[in-house]
Structure 1
Amino acid sequence: METKSLILVEELALKKYGIFAQSRLRYLLRSILASMFIGFGVIVAFKTGNLFYLEQSPFTYPIAAITFGGAIILIVYGGGDLFTGNTFYYTLAALRKKMRWADVIKMWGFSYAGNLMGAVFFAGLIFATGLFKDSSSTGFLLSVAEHKIHTPTIELFFKAILCNWLVCLAFFVPMSQKGDGAKMFSMMLFVFTFFISGYEHSIANMATFAVALVTDHPDTISLAGAIHNIIPVTLGNLVGGAVMMGFMYNYANKPGGEEIIK
């Protein structure tokens, strides 16, 4: 059973709530940091992937998926606060009467706003570096951004559910493991799975679109197109974390289950 790991999830949620209650600004800054960490993963994924994309290599996506996994390690060990993971943590804490739903909604709002601010600020930093000034370096990035914009809304929604289900598992499963090496491997494996499968992560998409929009991009990539993607993906991520993880694990681990199994 996952009882011990779920207790750790509760404790983590309450720790985050403590920061939020003490200082909204500190909580917001941690959320900004998280999306900037995601931004680092986005950049390294599209930079390395582009080398293979230019050669039309079948290894383009696998390489990008492997390198993007570093982002989750930065968040876990660097102390960022990610909206998508919070959909699981706070839902579980609220279902177990450790947090009020009103506070859960407020904290989701702050973490989401901070993640958005971080993505925009990070894109500004990338623009200043000139890393994507050369058009030959943006092919893979713009190709992915354009595909995301033109994906049907219903597909985005369900891809987002599956994505955050995996992302929350990437945070949750390592809680029962010992040793940083095993934890980091599990995290990267789950992130690789969602990336290579083509699922949709709202905060990663924020960073992707923000960087794409500050580069020399075609008219097919626009702010309106990015919003078309972000809204259903955010809702899908919320369902994936709150329902598929929070509600499901809470129900599957009701007190007394251990005795029945025995």
Structure 2
Amino acid sequence: METNALSEVEKLALKKQKIYETNPLHYILRSALASMFIGFGVIVAFKSGGFFYNEHSPFAYPIAAITFGSAIILIAYGGGDLFTGNTFYMSFAAFRKKMKWSSVSKLLILSYIGNIIGAIVFAFLIYTTGLFSSSSVNSFLLTVVEKMMNTPIMELFFRGILCNWLVCLAFFIPMSMKSDGPKLFVMMLFVFCFFISGYEHSIANMCTFAIALVLNHSGTISFNGVDVLCCE
């Protein structure tokens, strides 16, 4: 069962490489789409968690963690190339000598650039809606961002490692399952685990901070802090 799943990882990595070779722009747009899917998850998480946060309820983070799982479902079933997932697929294929490391590096850089583009576009769209203009709505998101701005870089780095470990498992384990129900449950469970544990997902941070920067935020949120938090 595990061997079959690993074979699927190789096939998926080679499929992504073929998409790039066929149409590089298509690959970048898929990457932009992936981070926009993450953006949808961020909005749902902080909107739903915000209702509890404003009431000073301990359920704010658990509710946000559960609803953020919508992002991974959108990526898995809606298509998209997420940098964090690609590091797993392509690195494994390279270790198996199915891909060249030079190709892996190029594809990872392009997927990261695409993720940045998607995060910026999504943040602009959220800004134009006016849905997060009120402090009663955006206070939860801005509080989380400000807290991470003051977290030491080394801690963020290792939180990023643990986060991507769980995220990659969220994509890998369902590969050996046949029906969609168990797949969805496992994906959302692993996403809940990394969110509630306080680990850091670089692309989720990218989308969260892009949204925070276009809102009426305090001076403690800056581009300098965002650069660090989105690269852990």
Match of 1:223 in 2: 223
> 2:139 and 2:121 mapped to 1: Cα distance?
22
> 2:119 and 2:30 mapped to 1: Cα distance?
13
CA deviation profile, 1:33-88 (whole Å, cap 9, x unmatched):
00000000000000011100000100000000000000000000001110000001
CA deviation profile, 1:145-180 (whole Å, cap 9, x unmatched):
011111000100000000000000000000011200
> 1:216 and 1:135 mapped to 2: Cα distance?
9
Structure 1 residue 100 displacement after superposition = 0.5
* Structure 2 counterpart of 1:42, one-letter code: V
Normalised to the residue count of structure 2, the TM-score between the two structures is: 0.99
Match of 2:101 in 1: 101
SS of residue in 1 equivalent to 2:67: helix
SS of residue in 1 equivalent to 2:217: coil
SS of residue in 1 equivalent to 2:230: helix
> 1:85 and 1:230 mapped to 2: Cα distance?
15
> 1:27 and 1:230 mapped to 2: Cα distance?
21
Match of 2:82 in 1: 82
> 2:178 and 2:17 mapped to 1: Cα distance?
26
Match of 1:258 in 2: none
Match of 2:150 in 1: 150
> 1:79 and 1:228 mapped to 2: Cα distance?
28
Match of 1:190 in 2: 190
Normalised to the residue count of structure 1, the TM-score between the two structures is: 0.88
Aligned length: 232
* Structure 1 counterpart of 2:32, one-letter code: I
> 1:62 and 1:178 mapped to 2: Cα distance?
28
Over the matched positions of the two proteins, sequence identity in percent amounts to 66
* Structure 1 counterpart of 2:188, one-letter code: M
CA deviation profile, 1:86-133 (whole Å, cap 9, x unmatched):
001001111111100000000000100000100010000000000111
Q: How does 1:247-262 map to 2 (within 5 A)?
A: none
> 1:109 and 1:169 mapped to 2: Cα distance?
22
Match of 1:56 in 2: 56
Match of 2:22 in 1: 22
> 2:12 and 2:166 mapped to 1: Cα distance?
19
Match of 2:213 in 1: 213
Aligned: 1:9 with 2:5: no
Match of 1:126 in 2: 126
> 2:208 and 2:148 mapped to 1: Cα distance?
10
Structure 1 residue 226 displacement after superposition = 0.9
Structure number, greater radius of gyration: 1
Q: Which runs of 4+ in 1 moved over 6 A?
A: none
Task: Note the residue ranges of structure 1 that are not aligned, 5 or more in a row.
Answer: 234-262
> 1:230 and 1:13 mapped to 2: Cα distance?
24
> 1:75 and 1:191 mapped to 2: Cα distance?
13
SS of residue in 2 equivalent to 1:21: helix
Match of 1:92 in 2: 92
> 1:133 and 1:140 mapped to 2: Cα distance?
13
Structure 1 residue 135 displacement after superposition = 1.4
> 2:52 and 2:193 mapped to 1: Cα distance?
19
Match of 1:47 in 2: 47
Task: Note the residue ranges of structure 2 that are not aligned, 5 or more in a row.
Answer: none
> 1:83 and 1:72 mapped to 2: Cα distance?
13
